[in-house]
Structure 1
């Protein structure tokens, strides 16, 4: 006769298997922790047992890192690791007591070390990816709404975990690591990002690749755009494609459903200084687009996006006054309009008069409508500003603007189009 099984232990009145030493028991715990009442009554000893299994199972991963031939023998260990992470992940949901108990056992450090080992293996086995994802979900849940846990997660995870995960080929791993970064960031830690710009730029790249993912988007809009120092440092180091992505999100923030708050205005005034000074210094780069060899020049296209941002900033009354007196901005915009108009008149190119673009039209290519946006910016800079109105007149800007417009002969009553 088989030996009798040990009687089940109780989780404050709830029957659970004991001792926790195998996959079946872990799965039972994971299921139990889906209910709030079970999470709130879990003894600390449960999490010590789960941690013991996690440590023991991680030894097989360490061995595989030293000896790649052992990767094929990880199946059972990965199953246990995955279920440990699922169990801990569920236990942390809206339960600060469990978050604190799990954190006090140094489970966070063990989890981060194990996740870094996963990245070191550099294999795409589905079982490994599942364990990887569950580990990140656990770190996100243990840090959620718990400042002490966020501090511990940051201490262990920054910067290596983010450098390893934000550029991972698996979309879920990128999303979950972005969730951890978003949850852990605060004003002090933003300063650390300035010294690790590759992480910030990886977030921009993650948004480029996965625009539908909310976490990279929220990191940029709710954290990055609130730090002018970080944005300035990032902008200097990013590729032109990455700059366009950042500028697009800046526009989205300005024109979003929720207006800029009083706290946002000083920050965006700093952004306005960066955008305006960069445009003044680099705007003539767009003339490259008149050459067939440079019609897709990324630096020129990024400069065009600067103009788009300036148009939206000058449409905001809180930012307009600052930009109306920004040194050299109005003069440079009028001068560039003249150069673009002459270039388009002399030869057939992207700025030629053969393709009229209406200012209110749907712009699918960033180079389209460039002239219309220059005129829009001039108009905004002159809005209720006599000095700028006189300056445009002195620069012979009025004939230039009129000459840049054409009347639709078939519909004389229609609004002017921009050539």
Structure 2
């Protein structure tokens, strides 16, 4: 029986090879399309795929090459559109046959590569993407099938990946990602994801290639339903500090927000035990926050009518959110407790840095706090929660809602089990400021909880900080009623101040 099957397969190979030769010698007609469809259907069978002779593929390549030449020659005002439509259908079917032949077949992947299918296919895709044919809709089917072929050719085949990358990077890949067809863009994203590796990601970070990476991030923002672009960003881009820095430098503030949102989502991924984002990315973002954080203050004066200024402020807020998340549950980022200030030169190993990241959050908190008390603005405390009930005008919501709360949260994170940072906040007079934010504030939901969390981290195993709070209580400027309402009690014992939960009745 097996011999009979092989005989039938061999006979089929001879028939299809002869039929493909006929296409080369005749004027194109619908019967040729049927021949190619028969070949495509047969290639779905694994046994048939493994038995196809090289001659059949060689003739298929010649058919594709002839179709490509004829299509390019017909690209003019006097083109016979009916003939062009048939040529596009024949090209699409050639690509389908090529696509099917590569499924789970390393042998066919190598064979098609050696015959030269990659070069011919990529040149044809480039022409299809840039041609000015009267009927643009007709090119999308061959575009999609051609990209799918290259994707199947590259799966688990490093040599094919490298060849496709060398011939398509960066210009053709960028063209395909800018196609006017969503499926084409999706398949191009799939192809890019399949080809990428660590070395290729580093190539993307070079200035002349950065537009390709920026296009991927733009698609994450404009077409989030395209899963491949999100996978590219999370599985490859965020793991390269060189690429993240290069993209960030070349982005508008609005584009940076998208990058930060993708990064934030990756940090929140519950299934990820160990975040793949390198520490150097965290350090770069921390430095960026230190450099740009003052932009948020322009929103307080109402002078941020300029959209560029507003976007910069929103970008800083996104940076703060990311830093809060990094320093919450990710041990690999806790080095940020000792992150150096931009104005400080890094010195030799084991030397303590003079200024660290917590300085700017504390100083910025002081500025925000002072502005909020000086006049009514978006940093002023409020007790009206109607705007959060769903009945009010959402357009009136401040873009810096929770900004103060997140500053306090970051200070608390950076002071956790860190005696040096606890001391620095005390020296900067930050403790009274944080205690003064224990009141309910509808502009900063949960600010009182974050203030309690931060005070707890500041007082833990630190008698000097406890004495500061005790002294404030004795002088009477701090109202602890909010703490008591939230279930905490401030108690002086043996000259020290303790923060502990209130016993329930």
TM-score, length-scaled by structure 2: 0.74
Secondary structure at 1:12 match in 2: helix
Pair 1:81 & 2:91 matched: yes
Q: Return closer, same or farther for 1:291/1:130 CA change in 2, 3 Å cut-off.
A: farther
Instruction: Indicate the larger mover: 97-106 or 320-329.
Output: 320-329
Preserved CA contact (<8 Å) 1:163 1:199: yes
Q: Tell me how far 1:302 sits from its aligned partner.
A: 0.8
Output the CA distance in 2 between the equivalents of 1:108 and 1:39.
Answer: 19
Preserved CA contact (<8 Å) 2:285 2:319: yes
**What residue is the counterpart of 1:413 in the other structure?**
485
Preserved CA contact (<8 Å) 1:333 1:378: yes
Pair 1:145 & 2:156 matched: yes
Pair 1:390 & 2:423 matched: yes
**What residue is the counterpart of 1:353 in the other structure?**
381
Output the CA distance in 2 between the equivalents of 1:69 and 1:218.
Answer: 44
Pair 1:19 & 2:19 matched: yes
Output the CA distance in 2 between the equivalents of 1:268 and 1:395.
Answer: 31
Residue 400 of structure 2, aligned match among 367, 371, 374: 367
Residue 409 of structure 2, aligned match among 376, 388, 409: 376
Larger Rg: 2
Secondary structure at 1:368 match in 2: coil
Preserved CA contact (<8 Å) 2:240 2:278: no
Deviations 1:68-108 (A, max 9, x none): 55383510110100100111111111111111111111111
Deviations 1:3-40 (A, max 9, x none): xxxxxx95336586541231101001111112222222
Q: Tell me how far 1:402 sits from its aligned partner.
A: 2.1
Instruction: Indicate the larger mover: 236-245 or 80-89.
Output: 236-245
Output the CA distance in 2 between the equivalents of 1:134 and 1:150.
Answer: 17
Structure number with greater CO (CA < 8 Å, separation at least 6) is: 1
Q: Return closer, same or farther for 1:379/1:190 CA change in 2, 3 Å cut-off.
A: same
**What residue is the counterpart of 1:214 in the other structure?**
227
Output the CA distance in 2 between the equivalents of 1:153 and 1:218.
Answer: 20
Preserved CA contact (<8 Å) 1:305 1:366: no
**What residue is the counterpart of 1:403 in the other structure?**
436
Output the CA distance in 2 between the equivalents of 1:82 and 1:210.
Answer: 26
Preserved CA contact (<8 Å) 1:174 1:206: no
Preserved CA contact (<8 Å) 2:378 2:398: no
- Give matches, 1:14-163, under 5 Å: 17=16, 18-20=18-20, 21=23, 22-65=32-75, 67-70=76-79, 72-73=81-82, 74-122=84-132, 125-163=136-174
Q: Tell me how far 1:286 sits from its aligned partner.
A: 0.8
**What residue is the counterpart of 1:4 in the other structure?**
none
Deviations 1:189-213 (A, max 9, x none): 2232122111111111111122121
Question: RMSD value over aligned CA atoms?
Answer: 2.8
Q: List runs of 5+ in structure 1 lacking aligned partners.
A: 1-8
Output the CA distance in 2 between the equivalents of 1:64 and 1:254.
Answer: 52
Preserved CA contact (<8 Å) 1:11 1:43: no
TM-score, length-scaled by structure 1: 0.88
Deviations 1:199-241 (A, max 9, x none): 1111111111221212111111111111111111111111212
- Give matches, 1:298-317, under 5 Å: 298-317=311-330
Q: Tell me how far 1:410 sits from its aligned partner.
A: 11
Output the CA distance in 1 between the equivalents of 2:65 and 2:192.
Answer: 25
Deviations 1:136-182 (A, max 9, x none): 11111111111111111112111221121112232111111111111
Q: Return closer, same or farther for 1:356/1:179 CA change in 2, 3 Å cut-off.
A: farther
**What residue is the counterpart of 2:261 in the other structure?**
248
Pair 1:171 & 2:192 matched: no
Q: Tell me how far 1:292 sits from its aligned partner.
A: 3.3
Q: Tell me how far 1:365 sits from its aligned partner.
A: 7.4
Instruction: Indicate the larger mover: 362-371 or 386-395.
Output: 362-371
Deviations 1:310-354 (A, max 9, x none): 001111342343111112311100111111122223333332212
